[in-house]
Amino acid sequence: MNQRFVQFSTEHALGVFFTLIPGLLLIYWARRSKSPEVDFWIRTFIAGILVFFFFVMRFLRMYDGSWSIQDDLPLHLCGFSSALVPVLLFNKNFRLYEVMYYWGIGGATQSLLTPTLVEPFPGFYFWEFFATHSLIIVGVLYATFIFRYRPTLQGLFRTYGLTVVLLLPIGLIDWLLGANYFFIAHKPDTASILDFMGPWPFYIFPLSLVALAIFFLSYLPFPIADRIRARRSRETIRSGV
């Protein structure tokens, strides 16, 4: 058995499959049932798992002595999202939804593709990583398909502006703590998209542009779906005539 997690391995695929797929099935269940009671309990389950891992992971790291202020504050985008998606599932705030949508679909998806993870299968931190990032995605998709929310271009630019504005205080925190939140101080030790963007600090600017592109890609399914529906509607009208 591997002593360290290996990207693009069988354990990587298993981590994604056993956390993301069940979450997507919960959305399907809620959509088919159309029951307020089922909706409530599914939202409670998703939020509860996120809250459980948010606190228990940090407690265990303190208990086993691996917790550090440089690594374990929730100051990455996915750290913010894991704390705020449970709030979204119950307050149903649309502005919060838009931020969580772009951060979740853009950031958590990238994390699942290239995990910054050390502990291999089947350790607790392995499952914490995959469950947390998968359920961030599931949470925003739940709001999309069950609350029938959809992100807007204005929300895209608001979220991007917020993300860029956060670079300054997060960068200051990194400098004061010797940390690497938002990966501003240096690239992650594991393989990631940053490997194609040049050395520090030059990769920060192209990274911000890539983030904007990822936000746009996250938005694109909605106007594409609108065009497909409009075309089908026109075809239906023509066939009726």
Count of structural domains, the chain? 1
Asked if the structure places residue 47 within a domain, the reply is yes
pLDDT the model gives residue 240: 60
Domain that holds residue 141: 10-240
What is the tens place of the pLDDT at every residue in 168-191?
999 999 999 999 998 888 888 777
Residue 4 lies in a domain: no
Flag whether 41 is in a domain.
Answer: yes
- On whether residue 117 sits in a domain, the answer given is yes
Q: Give me the pLDDT at residue 143, please.
A: 97
What parts of the chain have a pLDDT lower than 70?
A: 1-2, 239-241
Is 168 part of a structural domain of the chain? yes
Q: Do the beta carbons of residue 142 and residue 43 sit within 8 Å? A: yes
- At residue 2, the pLDDT reads 61
Asked whether residue 88 is domain-assigned, the answer is yes
